[in-house]
C-alpha cells in the first residue's frame, strides 16, 4: 500500500547471511561493563559465528555447550548512509538472550519467544550510534540441550518509498472476515481476508488455509490500467526458505517450506522470486474486463494427533488422499461461493450481536471466533465424531472458559469436540478416578493426564455444567444419556463433596463462639471475602445444581 517497507538489508549480517562474522566470547561471567565498547576483552577467546551446539538446523562455527556465553561484536557504521532509515536487530537464540548496543539493552528474549527474532531499534538508541566502531554485545543462557546464538544489524530498504501511499478509508471486522477499503487515486481497492475454515458443515472446517479476495472499482467512471502486486518477504517472516513452484489445474502454487501461496495461472498473472521475496502480480486489470481476483494462503501442519495410540487425520482431510495443495486448489475454485457463505454467516452473527445491545460484548465476541480456531485443531475420532483440541488435549478449564462464546455462536459441534477427549478417557478405562481428568496430554500425544494437580471439584463441576449446556442447546437429553455412566459418577462425587462441606459448616457453627457475636458496627464485607465462582465451595454447589437439573431432564425424557 506504499509507505514504509518492511524490507530489510544487512549492515552487519547474521552468520547465515554471510560467511560468518568473528567476535570475542567468554563462557565465564565478566565484569558489569563487559557490554561497553571501552571494556578490555584481550583475555577473551576469538570465534566465528554462529555459536552453539553441533547438529542444529542452523550452521554453527564455534562450539558452545555450557550454560552461559558472552559475546562482543564490533560493527562499523557509516551514519550518513543510514539516510534516516529504520534499524533492526535480527537474532537467533536458544534459549534466553539479551543483546546490547553500545551498552544499552536493545533485545531481551526469554525462553517463550521464537528462536528467530527481529526487533526495531528505538530512536533513542539510533541517536547514540557512533560514526565508525560500535559494539554489539550479547549474553545467552542455555537452559538445557541445544544452544544457539547469532545476531546482527539490518537496515530498512525503502524500495517503495516513492510510491504514493494508499489511503485506508474503511475497516469492517466480522466473525469470519475482515474487509478493507483503500483509496488509490481514482480507483478504490477492496480487500477481504476470508477464513472459510470457520464455516460450519464445510469441507474446509479447520483447514489451515484462507484467502485474500480483491476487487478494484473506478470512482470516476473511467477505465484505468491497474496492477495488483503482492510482495511477500519470506526471509522476514520465516527466515531462509527453499522455494518450490508447481502448476496444476490452472493454479500456480508456490511453496516456501511449510507455507503455501497460490494464484490463478493466467496470461496476465506473473510471479518471481527475488532476494528472498515472492512477488505475485496481476496486470491490466479493468482493461481486460476483469476487476477481481484471489490470493490463497495456507500452511502444512506438522505432527498429527496420536489419540490413545491411534494417529488421527485432520477433519478437512477426512480419509481423503488430499494435501494442503489440493485443499488450496479446491478453495480457490470455490472462493466466490465460500465468500458468499461467509457473508451470510457474518450477517447472521452481527444481527444476533446487535440484539444483545452490548458493544462491550461485541468487542469480545468477534475476535473470539477467529482466535479460537487459530489455537485449535479439528480431527476425526476413531468413532467418526469430531475432536477439537489445542496444545493441551482435553483441558477442561480451557473448554469451560470458551463454552459461553461457543453457545452464542451455536458451535455445539466444537463444544462437544472439546469435551469428547474427556469422556473418551473416562469411558475407555484410561482414567479410573471418580472425577474427570484435568487434561489428557500435550499435543501430539493424548493418552493420560499431564497436570500434577487434579482440581477434582472444579473438573467435575465444569463438566457437569457444560454437559447441561449441550443438552439445553440441542433440546435433547441424548448427549447426556450417551455419557450417563460418567456423568452420574461425577454427580455422585459432587453430592458427597457438598454433603461433607455442609457437615463441616454445621460443626464450625456449633463450636465457634465468635460466630454468635455479630457486631453492629461491621456493615461492610471486604471484596476478597465475597465467594468467587471459581472457589471450590461455590463450584461444587453450581455443579450439583447442574447435576440435579440433568436428573430432572432425564426423568422427563423417560416419561
Residue 444 has pLDDT above 90, yes or no: yes
pLDDT digits (tens, 9 = 90+) for 299-348: 888 788 999 999 998 899 876 677 899 999 999 999 999 999 999 999 99
* 376 in any annotated domain: no
> If you average pLDDT over each of 152-166, 231-245, 507-521, 530-544, which comes out highest?
152-166
CB contact set of 271 (below 8 Å; sequence gap of 6+): 245, 252, 254, 263, 278, 279, 280, 281
Distance CA 477, CA 554 (A): 7
- Residue 3 — pLDDT band, cuts 50, 70, 90? low
Q: In the listed set 130, 156, 182, which residue is the last one of a domain according to the structure?
A: 156
Q: Are residues 146 and 204 in the same domain?
A: no
- DSSP sequence for 461-504: HHHHHHHHHHHHHHT-SHHHHHTHHHHHHHHHHHHHHHHHHHHH
> If you average pLDDT over each of 57-61, 224-228, 423-427, which comes out highest?
423-427
Distance CA 309, CA 440 (A): 13
* 418 in any annotated domain: yes
* 315 in any annotated domain: no
Distance CA 292, CA 309 (A): 47
Q: Are residues 506 and 460 in the same domain?
A: yes
Tally the C-alpha atoms within 13 A of residue 122's C-alpha that lie toward its C-beta.
Answer: 7
Contact assessment for residue 42 and residue 31, using Cβ atoms and an 8 Å cutoff: no
Q: Are residues 150 and 12 in the same domain?
A: yes
Q: Are residues 98 and 184 in the same domain?
A: no
Cell numbers found for residue 408: 452464542
Which H/E stretch holds residue 47? strand 45-48
Q: What is the dihedral of CA 347, 350, 351, 354, to 10 degrees?
A: -160
Q: Are residues 412 and 280 in the same domain?
A: no
Residues 135-149 have a mean pLDDT of 91
Q: Are residues 113 and 228 in the same domain?
A: no
Q: Are strands 305-307 and 445-446 parallel, antiparallel or unpaired?
A: parallel
* 481 in any annotated domain: yes
Q: Are residues 424 and 550 in the same domain?
A: yes
Q: Are residues 109 and 182 in the same domain?
A: no
Burial call 470-496: b when 16+ CB within 10 Å, e when fewer: bbebeeebebbeebeebbeebbebbee
Contact assessment for residue 487 and residue 470, using Cβ atoms and an 8 Å cutoff: no
Q: What's the pLDDT score for residue 40? A: 94
* 419 in any annotated domain: yes
Q: What is the mean pLDDT of the chain?
A: 87
> If you average pLDDT over each of 262-266, 362-366, 492-496, which comes out highest?
492-496
Residue 532: domain span: 381-513+525-558
Q: Are residues 87 and 204 in the same domain?
A: no
Q: What's the pLDDT score for residue 514? A: 43
Tally of domains within the chain? 3
Q: Are residues 137 and 259 in the same domain?
A: no
Using only C-alpha atoms, the chain has a radius of gyration, in whole angstroms, of 30
* 139 in any annotated domain: yes
User: Does the global pTM surpass 0.85?
Assistant: no
CB contact set of 229 (below 8 Å; sequence gap of 6+): 279, 280, 281
Cell numbers found for residue 421: 477427549
* 373 in any annotated domain: no
Peptide bond before 95: cis, by omega within 30 degrees of 0? Answer: yes
Residue 117 has pLDDT above 60, yes or no: yes
Helix axes 536-558, 456-474, angle to 10 degrees: 40
* 345 in any annotated domain: no
The CA–CA distances, whole Å, from 347 to 175, 267, 357 equal 9, 36, 16
CB contact set of 325 (below 8 Å; sequence gap of 6+): 246, 248, 253, 255, 260, 262
Residue 183: CATH number of its domain: 2.70.98.10
Q: Are residues 114 and 259 in the same domain?
A: no
Residue 524 has pLDDT above 70, yes or no: no
- Residue 521 — pLDDT band, cuts 50, 70, 90? very low
Residues 252-270 have a mean pLDDT of 83
CB contact set of 389 (below 8 Å; sequence gap of 6+): 305, 376, 377, 379, 417, 418, 421, 443, 446
Range from 117-121, 157-161, 336-340, 502-506 carrying the lowest mean pLDDT: 502-506
Q: Are residues 278 and 413 in the same domain?
A: no
Contact assessment for residue 265 and residue 252, using Cβ atoms and an 8 Å cutoff: yes
Amino acid at each position: 500500500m506504499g509507505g514504509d517497507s518492511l524490507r530489510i538489508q544487512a549492515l552487519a549480517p547474521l552468520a547465515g547471511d554471510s560467511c560468518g562474522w568473528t567476535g570475542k566470547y567468554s563462557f565465564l561471567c565478566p565484569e558489569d561493563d563487559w557490554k561497553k565498547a571501552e571494556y578490555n576483552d584481550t583475555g577473551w577467546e576469538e570465534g566465528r559465528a554462529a555459536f552453539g551446539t553441533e547438529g542444529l538446523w542452523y550452521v554453527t562455527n564455534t562450539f558452545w555447550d555450557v550454560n552461559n556465553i558472552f559475546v562482543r561484536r564490533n560493527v562499523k557504521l557509516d551514519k550518513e548512509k543510514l539516510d534516516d532509515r529504520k534499524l533492526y536487530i535480527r537474532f537467533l537464540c536458544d534459549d534466553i538472550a539479551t543483546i546490547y548496543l553500545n551498552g544499552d539493552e536493545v533485545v531481551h528474549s526469554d525462553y517463550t519467544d521464537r528462536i528467530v527474532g527481529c526487533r526495531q531499534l528505538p530512536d533513542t538508541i539510533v541517536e547514540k550510534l557512533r560514526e565508525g566502531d560500535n559494539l554489539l554485545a550479547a549474553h545467552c543462557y542455555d537452559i538445557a540441550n541445544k544452544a544457539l546464538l547469532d545476531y546482527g544489524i539490518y537496515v530498512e530498504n525503502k524500495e517503495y518509498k516513492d510510491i504514493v501511499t494508499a489511503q485506508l478509508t474503511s475497516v469492517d471486522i466480522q466473525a469470519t472476515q475482515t474487509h478493507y477499503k483503500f483509496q488509490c487515486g481514482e480507483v478504490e481497492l477492496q480487500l477481504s481476508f476470508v477464513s472459510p475454515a470457520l464455516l460450519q458443515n464445510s469441507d474446509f472446517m479447520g483447514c489451515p488455509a484462507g484467502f485474500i479476495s480483491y476487487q478494484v472499482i473506478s470512482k470516476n467512471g473511467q477505465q484505468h490500467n491497474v496492477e495488483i502486486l503482492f510482495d511477500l518477504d519470506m526471509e522476514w517472516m520465516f527466515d531462509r526458505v527453499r522455494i518450490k513452484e508447481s502448476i496444476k489445474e490452472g493454479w500456480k502454487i508456490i511453496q516456501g517450506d511449510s507455507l503455501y501461496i497460490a494464484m490463478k495461472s493466467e496470461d496476465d498473472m506473473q510471479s518471481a522470486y527475488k532476494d528472498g521475496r515472492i512477488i505475485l502480480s496481476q496486470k491490466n486489470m479493468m482493461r481486460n474486463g476483469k476487476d477481481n481476483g484471489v490470493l490463497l494462503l495456507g500452511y502444512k501442519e506438522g505432527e498429527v494427533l496420536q489419540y490413545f495410540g491411534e494417529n488421527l487425520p485432520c477433519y478437512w482431510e477426512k480419509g481423503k488422499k488430499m494435501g494442503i495443495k489440493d485443499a488450496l486448489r479446491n478453495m480457490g475454485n470455490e472462493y466466490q461461493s465460500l465468500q458468499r457463505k461467509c457473508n451470510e454467516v457474518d450477517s447472521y452473527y452481527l444481527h444476533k450481536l446487535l440484539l444483545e445491545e452490548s458493544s462491550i460484548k461485541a468487542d469480545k465476541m468477534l475476535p473470539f471466533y477467529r482466535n479460537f480456531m487459530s489455537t485449535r485443531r479439528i480431527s476425526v475420532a476413531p468413532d467418526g465424531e469430531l475432536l477439537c483440541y489445542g496444545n493441551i488435549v482435553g483441558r477442561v478449564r480451557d473448554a469451560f472458559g470458551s463454552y459461553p462464546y461457543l453457545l452464542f455462536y451455536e458451535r455445539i459441534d466444537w463444544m462437544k469436540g472439546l469435551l469428547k477427549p474427556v469422556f473418551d478417557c473416562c469411558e475407555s478405562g484410561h482414567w479410573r478416578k471418580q472425577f474427570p481428568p484435568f487434561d489428557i496430554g500435550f499435543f501430539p500425544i493424548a493418552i493420560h493426564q499431564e497436570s500434577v494437580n487434579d482440581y477434582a471439584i472444579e473438573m467435575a463441576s465444569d463438566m457437569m455444567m457444560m454437559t447441561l449446556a449441550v443438552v439445553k442447546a440441542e433440546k435433547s437429553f441424548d448427549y447426556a444419556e450417551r455419557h450417563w455412566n460418567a456423568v452420574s459418577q461425577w454427580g455422585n462425587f459432587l453430592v458427597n463433596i457438598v454433603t461433607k462441606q455442609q457437615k463441616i459448616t454445621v460443626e464450625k457453627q456449633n463450636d465457634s463462639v465468635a460466630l454468635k457475636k455479630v457486631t453492629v458496627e461491621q456493615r461492610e464485607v471486604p471484596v476478597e471475602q465475597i465467594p468467587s465462582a471459581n472457589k471450590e465451595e461455590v463450584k461444587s454447589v453450581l455443579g450439583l445444581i447442574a447435576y440435579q437439573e440433568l436428573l430432572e431432564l432425564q426423568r422427563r425424557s423417560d416419561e
